[in-house]
């Protein structure tokens, strides 16, 4: 049985959060890095402090919102944690490269997933501008003028292909990510494979419109974050088209419509 090692009257998930390192905090959740330990199921006479550490995990804690009624807040938190876990499971069953699930506690609002050792695509592409914190900026400066993607043994074109393929596999499974940006994609160090992350807004849909909007969100993310990104996104769409096959043309037509609506909104202001 996997459990945190702290000995306390608190529930195991709360113990785990207490021992974890806070990485970031948003309006909806806090993100931690934690370690689980493998303990004997008997637990008798065990020195928890000497139990061997297992792999690190990422904990996403949807904390209580005081501005919501407690029962409504608890219900929404359970729905969102369960929904994200279901989306990840569906992706895994369909061969989409996503983090593995390590634990789910809907009552405490915690989802534990595999820790991905690598960098976000945003950090690896030119201009990954407006980095979220100074530590990221220092990492990029240490890399220097060279192409950081080369450290992973892949070319920029190959990375765009991987992005297109993973999104296509996700859409063929009728999963809509809801927040496709280059920050929500990571290149893993050990294997140089692309991992889609952060399925907090994901949902199931067979609608062409939803898949087109997913692509449009990513296109806008490329344009706003990475200069001269048109060839990059074109590479993503080319790989996406090949993987989608006969399903591509309806999505392409709807994507053109979505782009037109976006331009009209920009003109109106």
- For residue 134, the cross-strand partners are none
Query: Within 10 A of 166 (CB to CB), how many other CB atoms are there?
Result: 24
Classify the C-alpha dihedral 114-132-192-228 as positive or negative.
positive
> What sign for the dihedral angle of Cα 177, 242, 225, 193?
positive
- Give, in order, the Cα–Cα distances in Å from 180 to each of 74, 203, 214, 217: 27, 13, 7, 6
Of 61, 59, 40, nearest in space to 50 by CA: 40
**Is 179 tagged catalytic?**
yes
For tokens 């991905």, the residue is 116
Kindly name the residue from 147, 179, 193, 257 that is annotated as catalytic: 179
Q: Give the CA angle between residues 88, 92, 94 to the nearest 5°.
A: 120
To 10 degrees, the CA torsion angle through 155, 160, 162, 163?
A: 150
CA atoms within 13 A on the CB side of 244: 22
Three-state secondary structure call for residue 25: strand
Query: How many Å apart are CA 24 and CA 198, to the nearest integer?
Result: 13
DSSP E strands, the chain: 2-3, 21-25, 30-38, 53-61, 101-105, 110-114, 118-120, 175-176, 185-188, 194-196, 203-204
Active site residues: 179
């Amino acid at each position: 049985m996997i459990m945190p090692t702290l000995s306390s009257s608190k529930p195991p998930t709360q113990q785990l959060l207490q021992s974890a390192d806070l990485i970031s905090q948003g309006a909806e959740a806090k993100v931690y890095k934690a370690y689980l330990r493998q303990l004997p199921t008997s637990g008798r006479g065990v020195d928890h402090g000497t139990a061997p550490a297992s792999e690190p995990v990422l904990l996403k804690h949807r904390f209580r919102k005081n501005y919501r009624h407690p029962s409504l807040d608890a219900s929404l938190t359970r729905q969102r944690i369960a929904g994200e876990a279901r989306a990840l499971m569906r992706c895994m069953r369909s061969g989409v490269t996503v983090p593995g699930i390590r634990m789910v506690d809907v009552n405490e609002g915690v989802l534990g997933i595999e820790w991905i050792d690598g960098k976000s695509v945003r950090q690896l592409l030119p201009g990954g501008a407006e980095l979220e914190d100074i530590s990221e900026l220092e990492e990029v400066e240490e890399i220097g003028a060279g192409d950081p993607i080369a450290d992973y043994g892949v070319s920029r074109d190959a990375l765009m292909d991987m992005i297109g393929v993973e999104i296509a596999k996700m859409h063929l499974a009728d999963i809509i990510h809801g927040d496709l940006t280059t920050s929500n994609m990571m290149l893993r160090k050990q294997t140089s494979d692309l991992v889609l992350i952060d399925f907090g807004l994901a949902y199931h849909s067979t609608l062409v419109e939803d898949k087109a909007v997913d692509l449009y969100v990513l296109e806008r993310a490329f344009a706003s974050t990475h200069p001269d990104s048109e060839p990059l996104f074109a590479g993503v769409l080319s790989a996406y088209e090949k993987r989608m096959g006969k399903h591509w043309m309806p999505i392409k037509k709807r994507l053109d419509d979505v782009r037109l609506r976006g331009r009209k909104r920009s003109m109106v202001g």
